[in-house]
């Protein structure tokens, strides 16, 4: 019998003892055994901290982002090899696509986020705080990678996505990981980690894998570590209360299964396009992954008058769903992860059905194509009806983690919101409506109890990612029962693995530490125009002070005619009474445009193009007769990789533009970006 191995201390190691037997969810045949007995968990954590951590922290965000991109490309080339393994978990091809391609897609998404991050190993957070009247003492915040380990304890339903969506974040942040997938489907995670190991893309010690039990792993976590858990609320609470988690104040991010809901808007009539959209959404969430999704719709909240229509339409759609061997093209619904999982789901349904009759489905049999009910882990979709949801509360408290949903009625939107909140915190809820008032009322009323709210109707249903799909750039998590945690969320997720530290000092010192120019910091001027310096030659703090220009009324009139901006303050001096202006005022964009005219060099040089503006403020009105000049300072530099062999080496230079008048007061500030050629093209 095949034995899964654990990836520990840079080597593949089998655990001791017999281990746990893992079975094919489709035909019940044995796949492998898995064990983590005998692994030195303390040594694994130490190896990650001493080997993986330093290697990742030496890399900049740009380098770590390119590393994720390389890994995503490598796994994309091999993704077809994971599908046959995924089918053994009971997942259909569509289910497997979510797991495999979705996981790799998250790697790509986080790789792309490097463009929003500095070419440093740390992150400068927010804006500076002036701490003295003269501006000679300021404060700021930096975020540096934690010097610990990201410990990921994952659920069984998405062995690949669950792993990749987490490590995408911690690796970009510069923190190594130990991944412990649920044992029952760990054979799929093991297959991918073997490929990751073969790639050689990740630094040694940045990823380790435990296929069996987590054992005493949490006994050795420290304050710099971060533990994340996905699974049942009961298990999550038990882990979160571990003495070491509490004594070391270890951050614990929990994403627990929750009683998510979907609301049919009062404006939606049976037979309409929106009604069909609602039925499709509920059906998909009941049958995708055989209902084994932490985001699946468990509670279907429907206007009282439309209960029968919903039951009829949903039952008809469930009738047409082919269940069976995921390898068959006709199959649209696979199996649960194992027979033990089916037993648990059936027990929960039995409890729920005491007060909520089953209106669709069979607890003891199912029509299965290409396999059979007895040897596999198949289960009929089950639809229940709770006519008194404010009295029969088990629907809001007990989750059957399978193809199981309960319909319940509401009369007014306030009641629908109240029922949604009775889940005591959910990962996601959705409402199908074309009425903006209902959408607004529900969203604002229910948001406090949900991590995500999907507002959907037929007009954009084809573009929607759906009720049950967490997206890399949006937070995934929820309050209360859902665990109170957050995953992904773009840059928000990265910050979970960074330590935010306030720093104080002079603008010059803070500029040196952050490698970003801070206003008031020291600058250096050069004889040669800054636009004639290559990327490597420019240094943070390099400054150009321009010639000056006296603004005239003709400038203002000409700019109004050129731009088409005839706002009264620029063109109608008879309309200024009661305004803050004392006379005709120059356009803010004229000031910015003139500033560019003052600091740009017309000669061809290393500057390739204007890349955009990050921020711009107009701080003082400029009237005819005022004389303006510009201080242009290198604020930050971000190197870019070549997109092809033919591409040239280049980087983005962020410039701090300060426009001042004859009194030396600032009238405008902006951060502009240029793309600058590198001198070294080797």
What per-residue confidence (pLDDT) applies to 126? 86
* Domain identity same for 247 and 331: no
Q: Is it the case that residue 570 has pLDDT exceeding 80?
A: yes
Q: Is it the case that residue 157 has pLDDT exceeding 90?
A: no
The enclosing domain of 204 has a CATH number of 3.40.605.10
How many beta carbons lie within 10 A of that of residue 374, not counting itself? 10
Under a CB-based contact definition with an 8 Å cutoff, are residues 93 and 332 in contact?
A: no
* Domain identity same for 174 and 302: no
Question: The tokens of 349 are what?
Answer: 């349904």
Write the DSSP assignment of 109-146 as a string of letters: HHHHGGGGS-SSSSEEEEEEEE-STTSSSEEEEEEEE-
Under a CB-based contact definition with an 8 Å cutoff, are residues 672 and 528 in contact?
A: no
Average of pLDDT values for 499-505? 94
Q: Does the residue 19 lie in any domain?
A: yes
CA count, 13 A, side-chain hemisphere, 116: 13
Looking at residue 437, what DSSP letter applies?
H
* Domain identity same for 339 and 293: yes
User: Residue 632's closest CA among 667, 595, 604, 665?
Assistant: 595
Q: Is it the case that residue 682 has pLDDT exceeding 70?
A: no
> How deeply is 616 buried, as exposed, middle or buried, from its count of CB atoms within 10 A (0-12, 13-18, 19+)?
middle
* Domain identity same for 195 and 297: no
Q: Does the residue 121 lie in any domain?
A: yes
Please give the helix or strand (H or E) that residue 433 lies within, else none: none
Cα separation, 222 vs 616, in Å, equals 43
Q: Does the residue 220 lie in any domain?
A: yes
* Domain identity same for 233 and 297: no
Q: Does the residue 30 lie in any domain?
A: yes
In sequence order, which residues have a C-beta less than 8 Å from that of residue 234 and are 6 or more positions away? none
What per-residue confidence (pLDDT) applies to 374? 85
What per-residue confidence (pLDDT) applies to 233? 82
Q: Does the residue 189 lie in any domain?
A: yes
Which one of 262, 290, 294, 356 is the catalytic residue?
294
Cα separation, 472 vs 110, in Å, equals 8
Beta bridge partners, 3, equal: 33
Under a CB-based contact definition with an 8 Å cutoff, are residues 34 and 19 in contact?
A: yes
Q: For 51-107, what is each residue's pLDDT tens digit?
A: 999 999 999 999 999 999 999 999 999 999 999 999 999 999 999 999 999 999 999
* Domain identity same for 159 and 226: yes
How many beta carbons lie within 10 A of that of residue 11, not counting itself? 10
In sequence order, which residues have a C-beta less than 8 Å from that of residue 347 and are 6 or more positions away? none
Q: Does the residue 544 lie in any domain?
A: yes
How many beta carbons lie within 10 A of that of residue 46, not counting itself? 15
Whether the full predicted model's pTM is greater than 0.85, yes or no, is yes
Q: For 409-468, what is each residue's pLDDT tens digit?
A: 999 999 999 999 999 999 999 999 999 999 999 999 999 999 999 999 999 999 899 998
Would you state the torsion angle of the CA atoms of residues 279, 280, 285, 291, taken in this order, to the nearest 10 degrees?
90
Q: Is it the case that residue 565 has pLDDT exceeding 60?
A: yes
* Domain identity same for 234 and 270: no
Q: Is it the case that residue 250 has pLDDT exceeding 90?
A: yes
* Domain identity same for 540 and 395: no
Domain count of the chain?
3
Looking at residue 337, what DSSP letter applies?
S
Average of pLDDT values for 491-517? 92
The enclosing domain of 563 has a CATH number of 3.10.129.10
User: Residue 148's closest CA among 173, 180, 126, 118?
Assistant: 173
Question: The tokens of 14 are what?
Answer: 């089998």
Q: Provide the b/e sequence for 441-467 (b: ≥16 CB within 10 Å).
A: bbbebbeebbbbbbbbbbeebeeeebb
Q: Is it the case that residue 680 has pLDDT exceeding 80?
A: no
Question: The tokens of 515 are what?
Answer: 């490698």
* Domain identity same for 404 and 281: yes
Q: What angle do CA 387, 385, 452 make, to 5 degrees?
A: 95
Confidence band (pLDDT; 50, 70, 90) for 200? very high
Mean pLDDT in the chain?
92
The enclosing domain of 421 has a CATH number of 3.40.309.10
Looking at residue 453, what DSSP letter applies?
E
Under a CB-based contact definition with an 8 Å cutoff, are residues 264 and 310 in contact?
A: yes
* Domain identity same for 461 and 570: no
Q: Is it the case that residue 285 has pLDDT exceeding 60?
A: yes
Cα separation, 247 vs 241, in Å, equals 10
Under a CB-based contact definition with an 8 Å cutoff, are residues 142 and 505 in contact?
A: no
Instruction: Report helix, strand or coil for 108.
Output: helix
What per-residue confidence (pLDDT) applies to 1? 62
Question: Does residue 261 have an active-site annotation?
Answer: no
Q: For 161-178, what is each residue's pLDDT tens digit?
A: 999 999 999 999 999 999
* Domain identity same for 78 and 134: yes
Label the pairing between strands 123-130 and 138-145.
Answer: antiparallel
Question: Does residue 294 have an active-site annotation?
Answer: yes
Average of pLDDT values for 502-522? 89
Q: Does the residue 531 lie in any domain?
A: yes
What per-residue confidence (pLDDT) applies to 196? 97
* Domain identity same for 310 and 363: yes
Q: For 261-281, what is each residue's pLDDT tens digit?
A: 999 999 999 999 999 999 999
Q: Does the residue 5 lie in any domain?
A: no
Cα separation, 147 vs 339, in Å, equals 41
SS (H, E, C) 39-60: CCHHHHHHHHHHHHHHHHHCCC
Which one of 165, 190, 211, 255 is the catalytic residue?
255
Query: 648: domain range?
Result: 523-677
More confident residue, 577 or 272: 272
């Amino acid at each position: 019998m095949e034995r899964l191995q654990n990836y520990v201390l840079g080597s593949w190691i089998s655990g001791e003892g017999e281990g746990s037997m893992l079975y094919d969810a489709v035909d019940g045949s044995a796949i492998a055994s898995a064990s983590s007995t005998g692994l030195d968990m303390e040594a694994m954590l130490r190896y990650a901290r001493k080997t993986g951590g330093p290697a990742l922290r030496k890399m900049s965000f740009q380098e770590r982002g390119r590393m994720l991109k390389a890994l995503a490309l490598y796994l994309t080339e091999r993704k077809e090899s994971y599908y046959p393994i995924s089918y053994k978990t009971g997942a259909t091809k569509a289910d497997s696509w979510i797991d495999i391609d979705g996981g790799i897609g998250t790697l790509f998404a986080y790789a792309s986020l490097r463009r929003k991050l500095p070419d440093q190993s740390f992150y400068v957070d927010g804006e500076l705080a002036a701490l003295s009247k003269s501006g000679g003492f300021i404060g700021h915040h930096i975020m540096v990678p934690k010097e610990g380990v990201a410990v990921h304890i994952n659920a069984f339903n998405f062995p690949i996505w669950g792993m990749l969506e987490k490590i995408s974040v911690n690796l970009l942040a510069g923190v190594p990981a130990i991944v412990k997938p649920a044992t029952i489907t760990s054979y799929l995670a093991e297959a991918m980690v073997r490929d990751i190991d073969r790639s050689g893309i990740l630094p040694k010690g940045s990823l380790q894998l435990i296929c069996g039990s987590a054992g005493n792993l949490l006994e050795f976590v420290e304050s710099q570590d971060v533990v994340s858990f996905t699974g049942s609320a009961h298990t999550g609470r038990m882990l979160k209360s571990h003495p070491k988690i509490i004594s070391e104040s270890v951050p614990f991010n929990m994403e627990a299964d929750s009683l998510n809901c979907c609301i049919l808007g009062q404006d939606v009539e049976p037979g309409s396009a929106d009604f069909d959209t609602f039925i499709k959404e509920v059906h998909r969430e009941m049958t995708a992954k055989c209902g084994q999704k932490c985001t699946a719709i468990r509670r279907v909240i429907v206007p009282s008058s439309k209960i029968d229509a919903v039951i009829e339409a949903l039952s008809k759609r469930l009738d047409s769903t082919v269940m069976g061997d995921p390898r068959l093209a006709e199959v649209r619904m696979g199996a649960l992860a194992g027979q033990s999982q089916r037993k648990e789901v059936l027990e929960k349904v039995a409890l729920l059905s005491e007060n909520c009759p089953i209106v669709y489905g069979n607890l003891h049999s199912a029509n299965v194509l290409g396999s059979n009910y007895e040897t596999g882990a198949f289960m009929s979709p089950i639809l229940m009806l709770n006519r008194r949801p404010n009295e029969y509360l088990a629907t809001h408290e007990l989750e059957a983690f399978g193809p199981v949903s309960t319909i319940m009625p509401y009369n007014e939107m306030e009641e629908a919101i109240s029922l949604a909140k009775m889940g005591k915190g959910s990962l996601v809820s959705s409402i199908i409506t074309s009425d903006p008032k209902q959408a607004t009322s529900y969203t604002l009323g229910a948001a406090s109890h949900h991590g995500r709210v999907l507002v959907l109707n037929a007009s954009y249903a084809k573009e929607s990612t759906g009720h049950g799909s967490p997206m890399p750039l949006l937070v995934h998590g929820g309050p209360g029962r859902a665990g109170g945690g957050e995953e992904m969320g773009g840059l928000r997720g990265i910050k979970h693995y960074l330590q935010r530290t306030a720093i104080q000092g002079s603008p010059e010192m803070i500029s040196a530490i952050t490698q970003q120019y801070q206003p008031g910091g020291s600058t250096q001027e050069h004889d040669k125009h800054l636009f004639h310096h290559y990327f490597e030659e420019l240094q943070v703090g390099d400054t150009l002070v321009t010639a000056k220009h006296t603004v005239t009324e003709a400038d203002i009139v000409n700019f109004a005619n050129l731009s088409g901006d005839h706002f009264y303050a620029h063109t109608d001096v008879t309309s200024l009474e009661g305004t803050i202006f004392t006379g005709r005022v120059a356009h803010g964009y004229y000031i910015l445009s003139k500033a560019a005219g003052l600091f740009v060099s017309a000669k061809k040089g290393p500057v390739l193009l204007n890349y955009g503006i990050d921020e711009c403020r107009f701080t003082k009105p400029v009237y005819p007769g005022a004389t303006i000049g510009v201080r242009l300072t290198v604020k930050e530099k971000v190197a870019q990789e070549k997109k092809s062999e033919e591409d040239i080496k280049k980087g983005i230079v962020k410039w701090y533009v300060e426009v001042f008048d004859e009194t030396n007061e600032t009238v405008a500030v902006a951060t502009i970006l240029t793309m600058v050629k590198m001198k070294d093209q080797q």
